[in-house]
Amino acid sequence: MDARINYFGNALAGKVMRHFNSAAAALAGALPTATEELVKIRASQINGCGFCTDMHTKEAAAAGETQLRLNLVAAWREATVFTDAERAALELAEQGTRLADSSTGVTDEAWANAAKFYDEDQLAALISLIALINAYNRINVINRQPAGDYQVGMFG
């Protein structure tokens, strides 16, 4: 499969991505690395973004994430390998990614559960991270960006 356009080589797309990447940089360190990568992976799985799933599973592994946990992200509800805080973040990520599936968007229950584990800055980071990974996913899915060739750290 080939991408529809060379998005990474397009000047206008490059301007947009610099802004997205600046937003991502602003979030650095606000959440545990494992939580951040798990959220990115789960949203990318839901959205069918192979490029982002490839990228974030490799980045997570390079940061020390275990293969077992990476294998179980899609089935996190049934898996015993995630902390309660990670499970709350994954639930928020799922509901925030699947907004059209519920008339209420993110439920009060999911929000309250996340608020048990994360302070206000971390909740702001989670909201922003979920929105940002969904935007990255949409760019890559619309463009049919191929997956499999990502190298850890290749975007800086």
Query: How many whole angstroms separate alpha carbon 117 and alpha carbon 136?
Result: 26
Can you give the pLDDT at residue 156?
Answer: 73
Query: Cα(48)–Cα(17) distance, rounded to whole angstroms?
Result: 20
Q: Per the structure block, which two tokens stand in for 83? A: 């902390």
Phi, psi of 14 (to 5 degrees): -60, -40
Say whether pLDDT at 135 is over 80: yes
pLDDT tens track for 25-77: 999 999 999 999 999 999 999 999 999 999 999 999 999 999 999 999 999 99
Architecture of domain 7-142: Up-down Bundle (1.20)
